[in-house]
Structure 1
Amino acid sequence: MQHYPKEFIQSIPKTDLHVHLDGSLREQTLIDIAREEKIELPSYTPEGLNELVFKPHYESLDEYLRGFGLTTKVMQRAEHLQQIAFELAWDNAREGVRHLEVRFAPQLHVTEELPFSQVMHAVDEGLRRARTEINATLPPEEPEFDYGIIVIAMRFFAPNFSRYYQTLSSVHSYSSQQEIIQMASRELARATVKLRNETDLQIVGFDLAGSEFGYPAGDHEEAFDYVHEHFLNKTVHAGEAYGPESIFQAITKLHADRIGHGLRLFSPDHIRDTSIENPDEYVERLIDYIANNRTTIEVCLTSNLQTAPDIPSVQDHSLREMLKHRLSVTFCTDNRLVSHTTVTKEIELALETFSIPPKQLKDIIVYGFKRSFSYKRYPEKREYVRRVITRYEELEKQYGIT
């Protein structure tokens, strides 16, 4: 197995295309804002929070998601959103991330005092300010730091998730839960496109996240049709807690350009759709379709191990099959706080476990930049990727990677 110096992995330009703003706070920031806003926490020390809430392992995806109930409580003011986004950008830049795509669900933060546009402006301002400071410190040979924002629609929510959802559910008290969830997605799609078109906010994509089981992607088809018709990129959480048919729905019904997680892609035993008569053949065809279309899978090793009890170690992760089938993959953190990880750690975990030769590693890292949802025009993006490749090759020579 190829050995890569730790310094090489730390130095190469990297991307994180799948990182949640509300899952990636600094522990101390969470504590400080909670004290300031008089928000009750299970503990007011990082050690206590990590023992009680942000654990090394979780029983399920739903337990993993419970910590977000705390983090979103401290993200209800513009100044706090701006601070958290600013700190996240710097935390990434310090480990060599040069393109960052931050995703979050604005409707978890919208209030009467903080409308959608102000939520989005706050996050963008924090990232933009960090970008200016970061790029002022980078040497000329380093590709500049940049970012994009991905807006998340929720597969499921209850009124107690946020004031926005509470109001929506109250106003439409005679509608079913499914209808209310669809309303929220449609409204978010329209608002996102309007803000992308009429401002300089760096909104680059639309996503679907949340509890996967029982809340199919197809319920959000109208919202994703709308963003698709308005040339907005799409990524969808799929195959994390449900089977291959969830990934198929994300691609065919929601026009997904990338897939978040895709953990169960190679699991015909996880197919629950009884109309699929030959699960093995279905999976083979789905894999070929993804491979031929270069649909990139945003791989989040650590968080998958935390939320999938049937995957006891990284050795058992489907990344092995993704690499074997030469799928387009990129390494991501998912949640830096909830999963206690960094992009560097994710790459190192993959390299320690799987045989990834230098050519394949370079392809994976570079493809993170190529498949990013950049707000730049394509010729500019190509030029930026070329600078990334040049820098990567310089570091290969410096560290003797052959």
Structure 2
Amino acid sequence: MSDGASAHHHVVDGIDLRALPKVSLHDHLDGGLRPQTIIELAEPLGLELPASDADSLAAWFAEKSDSGSLVEYLKTFDLTTAVMQTAEGLTRVSREFVEDLAADGVVWGEIRWAPEQHLARGLSLDEAVEAVQRGLDEGVDAAAEVGHGIRVGQLISAMRHLDRGTEIAELALRHRDRGAVGFDIAGPEAGFPAGRFAEAFDLLARECFPATVHAGEADGLESIRGALVDGHALRLGHGVRIAEDITIESQDDEASYVSLGRLAQWVKDRGIALETSPSSNLQTGAIAAWGDDLTAHPFDLLYQLGFRVTVNTDNRLMSATSLTRELALLVDAFGYDLDDLLTFQINAAEAAFLPLEDRAELVELLERGFGAA
């Protein structure tokens, strides 16, 4: 996906942000397809598309996703998942996903998706995971051939409104040494707390397998509490509504005085990473309580208070975005410099579902890359 029109915004301190190394923790496989690929995969399946050329299709996704409603936003995924029901479709989409990440400067990417949504044409759960892993491996190899070093892992998601949590947790564990690096629950957050999947999360905790949980996006503080308590979550998917537990006591020209509730204090003190996605949080109404443009996003408040904030794309197709663009938008909104952007990458690296030594190497790689800039 090209965002060439806004490319001039991608230069900070004279540096092209795309060239800098980045870490992506929250990126949905079914939210990052190339429009042209959807067209090509849809044809043999006889699927009706709302547009017949890639540019028009991209515009359709962008329009549907920018309504301010999570329900409307989620409808666009019916189309992407429809072309991801065969091994060939899953492998191709996964390969291109990694190539697109690598071209955007991503050096470690965690790619989340829900295998249970890809069984309509006869694949088993394990076959689906294997098809995605083949594509991810091909993408890493293809990126290496053009000089982009990237590593990736799968985050296996269970759909929170369905009842396959334990089955999907067991699936993730079967593939833990073959590409799966973590577990997630996704889908409608309000009304479907992490506690519904307590058995699955307990199993993963016993097996020492990490989980991140979508929370504090379409629901508030109790959802975050449930993610931490029932989900044993090591990170929060979005998590922006933790700001509901922060009170701005007073504000003058010099400073503002804030107090943190117990939950916010806990998330901050434990260094629990917030996987924020600025454009997506705006589009889905996750930050509606604070305002309707990016300068209202609690991201800067959370950053200034010392929370472990990370920057993510969520769904690159739906939000017509890239990690480079998300960083550029934050620079425009809050005046960040390269040191700030490096901090966000290090926050993400330190929260990555990788062994400690690998995380330390990743931080070094980031510091070298930003230092060379």
Q: Give the shorter-chain TM-score range.
A: 0.7 to 0.9
Measured after TM superposition, the shift of residue 393 of structure 1 is 1.4
Range 358-367 or range 102-111, more displaced: 358-367
Question: Can you give the 5+ residue segments of structure 1 that lack an aligned partner in the other structure?
Answer: 157-180, 270-280, 396-402
Instruction: Tell me the SS of whatever aligns to 1:302.
Output: helix
Structure 1 residues 357 and 52: alpha-carbon distance in aligned structure 2, compared to 1, 3 A threshold? closer
Deviations 1:158-192 (A, max 9, x none): xxxxxxxxxxxxxxxxxxxxxxx33x111111122
Residue 343 (structure 1) aligns with: 323
Measured after TM superposition, the shift of residue 111 of structure 1 is 4.5
Residue 296 (structure 1) aligns with: 273
Equivalent position to 2:160, from 127, 151, 155: 155
Residue 382 (structure 1) aligns with: 360
Structure 1 residues 251 and 58: alpha-carbon distance in aligned structure 2, compared to 1, 3 A threshold? same
User: 2:33 is aligned with what amino acid?
Assistant: L
Residue 51 (structure 2) aligns with: 43
Q: Structure 1: how far apart are the matches of 2:14 and 2:130?
A: 37
Measured after TM superposition, the shift of residue 305 of structure 1 is 1.0
User: 1:331 is aligned with what amino acid?
Assistant: V
Residues 323-402 of structure 1 mapped to structure 2, 5 A cutoff: 323-374=303-354, 377-395=355-373
Deviations 1:228-283 (A, max 9, x none): 211111111111111112111111110111111112111259xxxxxxxxxxx996
Deviations 1:329-368 (A, max 9, x none): 1110000101110000000111111143544332211222
Q: Structure 2: how far apart are the matches of 1:153 and 1:315?
A: 33
Instruction: Tell me the SS of whatever aligns to 1:237.
Output: strand
Deviations 1:89-117 (A, max 9, x none): 11111111111111000000125731111
User: 1:306 is aligned with what amino acid?
Assistant: Q
Instruction: Tell me the SS of whatever aligns to 1:211.
Output: coil
Structure 1 residues 301 and 193: alpha-carbon distance in aligned structure 2, compared to 1, 3 A threshold? same
Q: Structure 2: how far apart are the matches of 1:391 and 1:112?
A: 44
User: 2:144 is aligned with what amino acid?
Assistant: N
Q: Structure 1: how far apart are the matches of 2:197 and 2:267?
A: 21
Kindly name which structure, 1 or 2, has the bigger radius of gyration based on alpha carbons: 1
Q: Which has the higher strand share?
A: 2
Measured after TM superposition, the shift of residue 154 of structure 1 is 0.9
User: 1:145 is aligned with what amino acid?
Assistant: I
Structure 1 residues 284 and 358: alpha-carbon distance in aligned structure 2, compared to 1, 3 A threshold? farther
Q: Percent identity?
A: 33
Equivalent position to 2:262, from 279, 285, 290: 285
* Normalised TM-score (structure 1): 0.82
Measured after TM superposition, the shift of residue 378 of structure 1 is 2.9
Structure 1 residues 370 and 78: alpha-carbon distance in aligned structure 2, compared to 1, 3 A threshold? same
RMSD: 2.1
Instruction: Tell me the SS of whatever aligns to 2:174.
Output: helix
Residue 264 (structure 1) aligns with: 241
Measured after TM superposition, the shift of residue 302 of structure 1 is 0.6
Q: Contact 1:54–1:67 (CA<8 Å) still a contact in 2?
A: no
Residue 91 (structure 2) aligns with: 82
Residues 69-218 of structure 1 mapped to structure 2, 5 A cutoff: 69-111=78-120, 113-138=122-147, 144-156=149-161, 181-182=162-163, 184-196=164-176, 200-218=177-195
Q: Structure 1: how far apart are the matches of 2:78 and 2:198?
A: 27
Q: Contact 2:245–2:261 (CA<8 Å) still a contact in 1?
A: no
Q: Contact 2:216–2:239 (CA<8 Å) still a contact in 1?
A: yes
Residues 43-62 of structure 1 mapped to structure 2, 5 A cutoff: 43-55=51-63, 57-62=66-71
